[in-house]
Structure formats: C-alpha cells, structure tokens
Amino acid sequence: MRGGLKKPEGRIHDLAHGSALPRISTQLRAKTVRRHSRVEHFGNPHKSGGGQIAQAVSGEIISRGAAVSAGNAVAAPLPSMIASASHQKLERLLDEALTKADAHKQALRYHAARHFWQRRWFNGPVRWAVGGAVALVIIGTFLYSWRSIPQLSMKIAGIRAHVTPVVPTYKPDGYKVAGPAKAISGAVVVQYKSAANQSKTYDITEQPSAFTSSMVSQNVVPKGSPVQTSQVEGNTVYIYGNSNDAAWVNNGVLYTIKNRSSLGSDQLIQIVSGLNP
C-alpha cells in the first residue's frame, strides 16, 4: 500500500546520518562497559537454542554465561590482550617445531646409509654375525700365514732375539717347514721335516755371535769328532759328527744345522749357500 503513503520530506543525507553507526570510541566503550547479569537489552539477538557458539570478533562478548558469573561482572578482554595471547601461542608453536625439527638428522642418516654397516638390515644380530665371521677369517689367515710362511714368523722371532734372520732359499725335496720360527735363548730356530717320514727333521739356528771361523772349530765343534770343512762363498763350513751337523759364521751371525734326517754333505752345502744373505 505504498502508493497511498506520503513521501517523507527531508534530505537524503539526513536519513543516512540518522542510520549511521556510532563512533569508534562509543563502540569500544560499549564493548568494555560492565553489565549486570540481568540486563538483557544488550544481549545477543540470536536465539540460544541454535546449539552453535558465535565467534568472537575484536573482543566481542559472545556468551553472557561465559562473561558474567552469578552476581559478578567481568570486563571483556581488550584487543591488545587477544593479540598478546595469539603471540604467545605462536611462540609456543615455534618452540615446539624447533624442538621436533630433525631435518639435519635425516640428512646425516641419508649420507650414512650409503655405507652398508649403517643400513637398517645390518643392525642387531646380523652385524654381530658378520663381524664375528670377518674376525674368524682374519685370525685364520694370520695363523695359516704364521705356520706356512716362514718369512713372517722369522721376522717376529728375529725381533725378539735381536737378530736379522735369513730365510733359507733351499730345502731338500720332500721337506717343508714344520712350524713357525721360534726365539729361544737369543736365537732364531726354524725346523723342517720330511713329508714322508715325520721323524726326519733338521733345525736351523741363527744367533748373533762374535766368533771367528777358528773360534767356531774350537767352541762349537765337539772335540774328537770327525770334521769335514768346506768353503762356501768365503766362509768356512764345518760338517762334523756322525749325524753330519754343520756350523759356520757369517757377518756376525752364527749358523748351526742340527741334522736328524741323515742329510748328505752336498745337501748341507746347498742349504748353507741358500743362507748366505
């Protein structure tokens, strides 16, 4: 029925001025003023039965029950207080993120994973089993070399006996090293035995000495025993006794051969030639 109504008089800006919102200071004062619990004029225009809670905007009170207790009036938080609470929450989140940050650890694990001992499948019992197997192989190899390679055992025995031993370059056919060289009473002793007859052996002893060739004949060769002398590369070799033992001196080292294999003089001379450094 608007056609029967009279158009209101007045300027448009007056109508706009009458419907304009209050000033900012008035709005802030209205939001922070103390209100009694029984005042309903300034309450939320929405019905409380909707089951949803309105979101707070710039310190607005969204629930009278939460803002006011029975008989007491509580002021709404100021915008600065909300900003301070948000700042503290942000700091807590940053601290928690820094505490849980492990990107550097992930990078280290990635680089370490290139080595097989750092892989996941190599942890636990597998690592101990592989380590034990490697240790057994190393120990077995060392023991085999110790018994089968006379150079290694003779060097160690020479260090203990304070002499530089010479490994024989010749041994009779069918003979082999019986065991690692030993350091006995300041001398290096290595034994050879026959593969066909274990009782046939001969020992080579090397020890530092200040003897001369004549002193060897007087102090080493038993008196009254048959002696055969030979010159091997300028050194006098004495082959004596019924078992054909041998003794000679070269470069301050006294060499003796204890013959338990009935080796002939020719074989002994070849052994002596192989012991001249």
Q: What is the pLDDT of residues 191-247, one digit of tens each?
A: 999 988 888 999 999 999 999 999 999 999 998 899 999 999 889 999 999 899 999
The tally of domains found in the chain comes to 1
Q: Is 73 left (phi over 0), alpha (psi -120 to 50) or beta?
A: beta
The domain containing residue 199 runs over which residues?
A: 149-274
pLDDT of 69 strictly over 50: no
Strand, helix or coil for residue 197: coil
Domain assignment present for residue 46? The answer is: no
Residue 195 inside a domain? The answer is yes
Domain assignment present for 29: no
Token pair listed for 257: 């051969």
Q: Tell me the pLDDT band of 16, cut-offs 50, 70 and 90.
A: very low
pLDDT of residue 204: 94
Q: Is there a domain that residue 38 lies in?
A: no
Nearest to 60 by CA among 78, 80, 73, 48: 78
Which residue has better confidence, 138 or 13? 138
pLDDT of residue 117: 55
- Average per-residue pLDDT for the chain: 75
User: To which H or E segment does residue 175 belong?
Assistant: strand 175-177
Residue 110, pLDDT above cutoff 50:
yes
- Calpha distance 247→257 (Å, rounded): 6
Q: What is the pTM of this model?
A: 0.50
Residue 254: CATH number of its domain: 3.40.1000
Structure tokens at 214: 């004549």
Q: Is residue 60 part of a domain?
A: no
User: Residue 161 above 80 pLDDT?
Assistant: yes
Q: Is the pLDDT of residue 144 over 90?
A: no
Long-range contacts of 166-171, Cβ-Cβ distance < 8 Å, separation of 24 or more: 166/206, 166/253, 166/275, 166/276, 166/277, 168/204, 168/271, 168/274, 168/275, 169/274, 169/275, 170/270, 170/271, 170/273, 170/274, 171/271
Helix, strand, coil % over all residues of the chain, rounded to 5: 40, 15, 40
Q: Both tokens of residue 18?
A: 């009458």
Residue 4: inside a domain? no
Q: Is residue 130 part of a domain?
A: no
Contacts of 145 (CB under 8 A, 6+ apart): 152
Q: How far apart are CA 81 and CA 84, in angstroms?
A: 5
The answer to whether residue 102 is domain-embedded is no
The letter for the amino acid at 40 is E
Task: Identify the pLDDT of residue 215.
Answer: 93
Helix (H, G, I), strand (E, B) or coil at 250: strand
Q: Which of these, 61, 92, 64, lies nearest to 78 by C-alpha position? A: 61
